[in-house]
Amino acid sequence: MSQKIERAKVLVIDDQVVILEALRRLLSADDLEIHLHNDSASAVAKARAIAPAVILLDIHMNPINGLDVLRGIRAQPELADVPVVMLSAVEDPETKVEAFKYGANDYVVKLPSPLELNARVRYHANALKAARERAEAYEALLRSQSELEQRNRLIEQINRELAESVLTDTLTGLRNRRFLKLFLDEHTESRRASHERRRAPARTTVFLMDLDHFKQINDRLGHDAGDIALVETAARLRSSVRADDAVLRWGGEEFLIIARYYDLDEPTAAAQRLLEAIGGSPMQLGPHQETVTCSVGYAPFPWVGEKLAQASIEQTLSLADAACYLSKTAGRNRAFGVLPGPDDARAARISGLGISPATLRSEDGRGVRLVESVGPAIGRLDLASTSG
Ligand SMILES: Nc1nc2c(ncn2[C@@H]2O[C@H](COP(=O)(O)OP(=O)(O)OP(=O)(O)O)[C@@H](O)[C@H]2O)c(=O)[nH]1
């Protein structure tokens, strides 16, 4: 089977047909495809049509001289890199300089030896081929680089979304339990920075909130209504705290709120706000209107205990949990806070939860008090008389 040789196209432009024919004879070879053109006025259009690998261009032509044709060739983007060998009847340095200035690649005095002419034509044809291959390879590299970058961006986005979804509760859109560690790391870092700047660090309070008799809502109104109540609860909680406070779905119908505070009465006011936010107005659960209340237990974080350099988050959470349990057993729709302050009679109730007030000391070294806040009146009678 014969293999097709790709021949390099050579366009020869000269207004004298005799010279053109002579050059054709000098160049004739199997690996070249020769095109002759003797009209300088249409030479640029011819070059565009042929797309040659090399152009041999006579300098002294009529009606348009070779240098102007050269300028016309260089003005065409697709011909800008095509090697042009100028042909001249005389060896004239000034004309040569002029030709190179206009973008010629070579200069040959007519008629050259066939050996020299063929060597030059092949050299330029190969140089063009190599330069174009390099440019193509470079473009392919850029393309694959940008594809790679695009893919990396996609992977990063997927990773971000995955990380987000791992930290997010799908039903309510709130952060879930896994977010606590991240939040606390940030909290510790911001306290450390405050210490360094000798500013009073923001304190936080941990609120555990549990909806009251939630099982009854599921049982009476259906699981979907229960879901709506959870979503509505999340929205109400979110809008009753600061934007940078954390609201987490702790599990089932239990939520954890970590809120900053600046003066000692703030946590109690915040607990009252939570009770109002949930129980203060009925929720629309599909076709049903239902007042849902909640029980809350809260404690500031961190604590400094007598034996504990700093109570851990787990210990603080169990304090808040114990206080929430106290709210449930005291009739629900209320909040209990374990707060720094002078020990009072109520503090003794903490002992009933298995926590000795004596082991607790707040950051400022004072004692412990138990604070009770009662939720909105709506529905309380019903709840008090219902078990579940
Ligand atoms: N609809 C719905 N219900 C849930 C979801 N997660 C947990 N629950 C329900 O929440 C209810 C919690 O019931 P309990 O632990 O008995 O608590 P409760 O009925 O709220 O009673 P108290 O907490 O003692 O006031 C259970 O019936 C769970 O099935 C949820 O994602 N959607």
Cβ of 214 closer than 6 Å to ligand 1, yes or no, is: yes
| Ligand 1 pocket test, candidate residues 171, 208, 212, 214, most atoms within 8 A of CB | 214
Average pLDDT estimate for 19-32: 89
Instruction: State residue 388's pLDDT score.
Output: 41
Centroid of ligand 1 to alpha carbon of 280 (angstroms): 20
Of residues 30, 77, 27, the one with CA closest to residue 54: 27
Task: For the beta carbon of residue 189, count every other beta carbon within 10 angstroms.
Answer: 10
Q: Which residue has the higher pLDDT, 66 or 386?
A: 66
- 136: tokens are 């193509």
Residue 188 to residues 280, 342, 379, Cα–Cα distance (Å): 34, 27, 40
What is the per-residue pLDDT for 371?
87
Q: Which of 229, 231, 333 is nearest to 284 (CA)?
A: 229
182 Cβ below 6 A of ligand 1: no
Conformation bin of residue 213: beta by default, left when phi > 0, alpha when psi is -120 to 50: left
Higher pLDDT, 264 or 44: 44
pLDDT at 188: 74
- The torsion of the CA quartet 361, 366, 370, 372, rounded to 10 degrees, works out to -130
Cα–Cα distances in Å, from 196 out to 201, 264, 349, 362, 365?
A: 10, 23, 38, 21, 22
Instruction: Name residue 29's amino acid.
Output: A
Between 63-77, 216-230, 333-347, the lowest mean confidence (pLDDT) is in 333-347
Token output for 72: 């016309």
- Record the pTM: 0.64
Query: What count of residues does the chain have?
Result: 388
CA of 252 from ligand 1 middle (Å) equals 6
Closest ligand 1 atom, residue 210 Cα = 23
Q: Name the average pLDDT for the chain.
A: 86
**C-alpha 63 – ligand 1 centre gap (Å):** 97
343 contact partners, CB below 8 Å, separation of at least 6: 357, 367, 368, 369
CB 248 within 8 A of CB 238: no
Query: How many C-beta neighbours within 10 Å does residue 363 have?
Result: 14
Calpha distance 367→346 (Å, rounded): 12
Look up the ipTM and state it. 0.97
**In sequence order, what are the residues at sequence separation of 6 or more whose Cβ sits closer than 8 angstroms to the Cβ of residue 209?**
237, 254, 255, 256, 257, 274, 278, 294, 295, 296, 324
pLDDT band at 190 (very low <50, low <70, confident <90, very high): confident
Find out whether the beta carbon of 106 lies less than 6 Å from any atom of ligand 1. Answer: no
CB atoms under 10 Å from CB of 309, counted, come to 7
